[in-house]
Structure 1
Amino acid sequence: MHRFMTTHNLPVRLLRLVAGLFLYGIAISLMIRGNLGASPWDVFAQGTSRTTGISFGVCTIIISGVVLLLWIPLKQMPGFGTIANAVLVGLFADFGLDLIPQAGNLALQCALFVAGLCMLAFATALYIGAGLGPGPRDGLMTGLVRVTKRPVWMVRSCIELTVVVIGFLMGGVVGAGTAAFALGVGPLTQLTLKWLQVDLHAKSPKASAVDVTVAAPLRTAGTD
């Protein structure tokens, strides 16, 4: 069966990348509007936004830029998809936040969060299937794993614990949704990767770049 990761059709891969990043941004906005807590990095961006007065999406872009600067000493090489991720997710998240109203009751909060979580897992599989490079935060993780020789779970946990604490102290929302995200996004992403026939072990430079990135969260069942 044809697999998403092995296609060499660049226009199709670019379409998958942009569609995946668009859905990813909308998924983030759904979870933010649910107001039950989101991923650690989104809590960080939310706290930064509330502290500085800058929009959530622009804060996401700025954070991505800072993370990419941290790639330099780690000797990580970004792909086109990495740069697109850094710029577009924040823009699409702001677009979604402008359209989606704040949830007014618990049932709607839960519905928005669940919809956002499922959409984010699908979007992750979609843009990873483009094989054009990992996201900025995943690249930071894999670079630190390589340099420090520490286990993936330890490095990822330290990064996400740090950003969620900082984000919370700055006013980001941490709640049941944050825990649900950590527990649910790995299995859901694994399911959508299988459904979309994304081959994480394709023998190409870009494929190998995302292999560790995706496999690690699925093993630890807690991702961003």
Structure 2
Amino acid sequence: MNFAKRFAQLVVGLFLYGIGISLMVRAALGIAPWDVLTQGIAKQSGWSFGLLTNVIGAVVLLLWWPIRQKPGLGTVLNVLLIGPSAQFGLWLFPGFGALPMQVAAFAAGMGVLALATGLYIGADFGPGPRDGLMTGLHRRTGWPIWAVRTGIEAAVLALGWWLGGNAGWGTLAFALLIGPMCAATLRWFAPNVRPAERPMLDSPAD
């Protein structure tokens, strides 16, 4: 695949990633750990969810420096594009009042996010800032990917919940289902990606 096609795939993937996040936020059934943190800080600060997605991504990217992790073009665009896309989705989608609509919106959000993950990882322009932090710490400490991931996400989830972020059964559903869903989309868009290059898909059993 040439550069232009890969770049287009990356941008589409990052845009859809933000849309997937916004659907899950609007479903109000619980969201991914990093988004719980973003939502909690948004409630305490008054800043928009999209802006804080950018800010947190940039702060995490700064943490790459002491662990000598090198960003790629995809890493930088991840920081810049997902926040505005998520904010656009929050503007586009209203709240979903009835439980069946909430469940449908949450499921749609996870599906879109899994598709987006396959697209942006398959474009092969570098990991997102959060995934890169996990792989960088794994490389520097020698700890298993699943242990690093679990430790980081447990910490941000606890902090986000304490700040008022929405941690619910949807958060648990995300943790259990997003790995297999993304594994399926990676077979479509990135069949040659090795397991070690898919940190967000590793589980304690791997």
Give TM class, smaller chain. over 0.9
Instruction: Please tell me the residue identity of whatever aligns with 2:17.
Output: Y
Alignment partners' CA distance in 2, 1:95 and 1:142: 30
- Quick one: which of 82, 85, 89 aligns to 1:89? 82
Q: 2:142 aligns with which of 122, 140, 149?
A: 149
The CA distance in 2 between the partners of 1:132 and 1:143, in whole Å, is 16
Question: How far apart, CA to CA, are the structure 2 residues paired with 1:151 and 1:72?
Answer: 21
CA apart distance, 1:25: 0.3
Using the TM superposition, give the Cα deviation of residue 212 of structure 1 relative to its aligned residue in structure 2, in angstroms.
2.5
The equivalent residue for 2:6 is 13
| In structure 2, C-alpha distance between the alignment counterparts of 1:34 and 1:221, rounded to whole Å | 28
Please list every run of 5 or more consecutive structure 1 residues that lacks an aligned counterpart in the other structure. Answer: 1-6, 202-210
CA distance in 2, matches of 1:196, 1:78: 21
Q: Structure 1: which 4+ aligned runs deviate by more than 6 Å?
A: none
Partner of 2:196: 212
Q: Which amino acid aligns with 1:200?
A: V
- Alignment partners' CA distance in 2, 1:151 and 1:61: 28
Q: Is the 8 A contact 1:138 1:213 kept in 2?
A: no
Could you report, residue by residue, the CA deviation over 1:114-137 in whole angstroms, capped at 9, with x for unpaired residues?
A: 000011001000011110010000
| Contact 1:24–1:120 (CA under 8 A) maintained in structure 2 | yes
Q: 1:73-222 residue pairs with structure 2 within 5 A?
A: 73-201=66-194, 212-214=196-198, 216-220=199-203
Q: Helix, strand or coil for the counterpart of 2:202?
A: helix
Distance in 2, matches of 1:10 and 1:71, equals 26
- Alignment of 1:59 onto 2:82: no
Q: Residue 220 of structure 1: SS of its match in structure 2? A: coil
**1:122-165 deviation digits (Å, cap 9, x = unpaired):** 10000111100100000000011111111111110000000000
Instruction: Decide whether the 8 Å contact of 1:122 with 1:189 is kept in 2.
Output: yes
Q: CA RMSD in A?
A: 1.4
Aligned to 1:69: 62
TM-score normalised according to structure 1 size: 0.88
2-structure distance, mates of 1:34, 1:45:
16
5+ unaligned residues in a row in structure 2: which ranges? none
User: Helix, strand or coil for the counterpart of 1:77?
Assistant: coil
Q: Any idea what the Cα deviations from partners look like across 1:149-199, whole Å, max 9, x if unmatched?
A: 111111100000000000001110000100000000000001111133532
Q: Given that residues 26 and 94 in structure 2 are in contact (C-alpha distance below 8 angstroms), is that contact kept between their aligned partners in structure 1?
A: yes
Once the two structures are TM-superposed, the CA of residue 218 in structure 1 deviates from its matched residue by: 2.8
Instruction: Judge conservation of contact 1:45–1:63 (CA < 8 Å) in 2.
Output: yes
Q: Given residue 217 of structure 1, which amino acid in structure 2 is its aligned partner?
A: M
Residues 118 and 188 of structure 2 are in contact (CA less than 8 Å); yes or no, is this contact kept in structure 1? no
